[in-house]
Amino acid sequence: MKDNQIPKQFLYNELAQGKRQKHEPKLRYEDCIKNTLEMVEISENRWENLALGHSLWRKAVHHEGRELKQSGIKHEQLKRDV
């Protein structure tokens, strides 16, 4: 992806504004994306190649998103049962 394209600028630049909790480091948009990709188990090395293929990216995001949602639901049910 070329450096002047908006998605690349948006992904790799810092946010100009926003709120954060006290005593926590400022997170860039890229850091938030990396954290989310880790949660859905998409590796940093693989995500750019996945994103180039629109249908592959959509499948990966929807599948892993469903898995994350299900694990969150199970976690909440376990918390309620205790």
Cα within 13 Å of Cα(43), Cβ side? 3
- Each residue's pLDDT tens digit, 39-80: 878 887 787 888 888 888 888 888 888 888 888 888 888 888
SS3 (DSSP) at 23 = coil
Does 76 reside within a domain?
yes
Judge whether 1 lies within some domain.
Answer: no
Q: Is the C-alpha dihedral spanning 38, 40, 46, 47 positive or negative? A: negative
Q: Provide the pLDDT for residue 1.
A: 67
Residue 82 has pLDDT above 70, yes or no: yes
The answer to whether 64 and 42 have CB atoms below 8 angstroms apart is yes
pTM: 0.47
Does any domain span residue 10? yes
Residue 21, pLDDT score: 65
Max CA distance (Å), the chain? 52
Whether 53 is covered by a domain: the verdict is yes
Domains contained in the chain, number: 1
Tell me which amino acid residue 39 is.
M
Does residue 55 belong to any structural domain of this protein?
A: yes
**pLDDT of 23-39, one tens digit each?**
777 777 878 888 888 88
Q: Which two tokens stand for residue 41?
A: 């188990």
